[in-house]
Structure 1
Amino acid sequence: MSIVLHEVTHVYMQGTPYQRVAIENINLEIKQGEFVGIIGHTGSGKSTLIQHLNGLLKPTSGEVLVEGVNLAGKGLDVKQARQKIGMVFQYPEHQLFEETIYDDIAFGPRNLGLLPEEVERRVRMGIAFAGLDFDTFAKRSPFQLSGGQMRRVAIAGVIAMQPEYLILDEPSAGLDPRGRNEIFEHIRRLYQETGITVILVSHQMEEIASMANRLIVMHHGHICQDGEPRTIFTRYRENLKEAGVDVPPVTALLATIKAKGLAVDDTAITLEEGVATIAEAVRGRK
């Protein structure tokens, strides 16, 4: 069970003087249960790529298959395939519009024609994801929440549709450090508890390093690296620089410390690993 892209190319404004190739000859398979991080410089093709995964954009050439169904087709099977993909765009709180948090999260499930009991079950699940107490917040306006809470409620509305694949485009954009940490912690917990496939576009390298089990690096509309995050962050640093991205801050710090003579492990990619290797190196010098 997977999403497959075969030789996918997308050209904006094709046939005009403003024609631009956004992604070209992309071959990619994302399997169920993966946590995929997608990184790359602005304009590298990340957003164009993910918008093909649920059929929002159609390839200029090539095909996108969701569990064997070609999204370029029509019919019930295509509709059902697209419903398996949940998409969260940047600043999703701008899409909040109902009078209460309950109604906002319930909007999608109600449109599926679900029974009221099932709608409520899904709303409760969504409010729990947002880290809010149901009895306290269900009937409140979403516009009374903090920015981080609004962001989580907006994501909860997508989660309440129970997609099998969840795509998040810069979910922490514009949040302060506390809000950013909270949103990533909720995404991490959702993945661990449900096993949902997560596809995360982010500039936060430290979060990608700590959560993703697969990393895709985009550069000039192509996939230039695809593999395990630790391998890419530690073996292909020069390639990352060429693509306009960097290693996690802790990895860069450890490389500097090691160059100064302290025997640290500069393949660490998370803060916890960084603290541990520095502590071990300091103890070893005593």
Structure 2
Amino acid sequence: MSTPLITLYPSFYSRFACKAGDCVHSCCVQDWEIDIDDDTAALYQSMDGPLGEEIRQSMRKNEETYYWDMKDGKCPFLNKQGLCRIVLEKGEGALCDICAMHPRFFVCAGNFELAGTGLCCEKTVELLLEEKGPLVFVTDYPEEKASLASLLHALGYKADKKNLIFSPSISTICYEQLLSHYEKTEPINAAWTTSLLHMKTHVQKAADRVHQLLEEIPSSHLTRIYQYILYRGLEKAETYGLPAVMAYARESVDFILLATAFYGDFPEQVRLWSEQIEYDTENVDWLLSLLSGQ
């Protein structure tokens, strides 16, 4: 008999709610290809009324699945207030799986299902930085809580607690190597490529800027971001090894700090990093393979 999975959630998970029309970086205007799962596609095919007809006119199909025909990079059902007309008229149950779940994630590591919400969502970053101290995880049973250290222990990994505290790498050599790694990732858009080139060209000035940032950004914020990236990356530890996943998380926060030194707005740089790196599994795997020597 297989052991049932224990689902862990970050302590802020229960407070997550989409900002909808108040979101500056709505996932409905990102020009992503949004697939429509088969069950929801069938629902849409049978939906009556003007909305049903409009939905069918906005659906396209390739060899594998239906998807939305985005209009100028925007979902055709986003109204002027930034709200979803499908939800307003039919309820959240009428959303396709991707729209209903995003930015939530559920990944497996050992006998644990690690749940959370992605850092590409500005609300996630806000909630993560609202709390102080190290990350705490809860289960479906409110009285049960776990730290990242106890989770690693339960997974059979040995990790010194000092390695769970973020410590920045501040030097021109480190930043040049970091940028060379990120230059080889697949860019999400031209702006990302331009940003990397600008940082690379002016990297000699970066160290002083980062030192100044470290006086402004609480160290607890940096550690929480580091631990959260590590937490989500634990599904990759069996393939690449825990040291590579920890190095990936540490390098990620170093990059976020570097980007903040150039462009400001630390929470936004967290979100941009996630959008570019964390939400492209090929980028994550490439960086992990590089750090693991595979």
The alignment's TM-score, normalised by the length of structure 2, stands at: 0.26
More strand by share: 1
The alignment's TM-score, normalised by the length of structure 1, stands at: 0.26
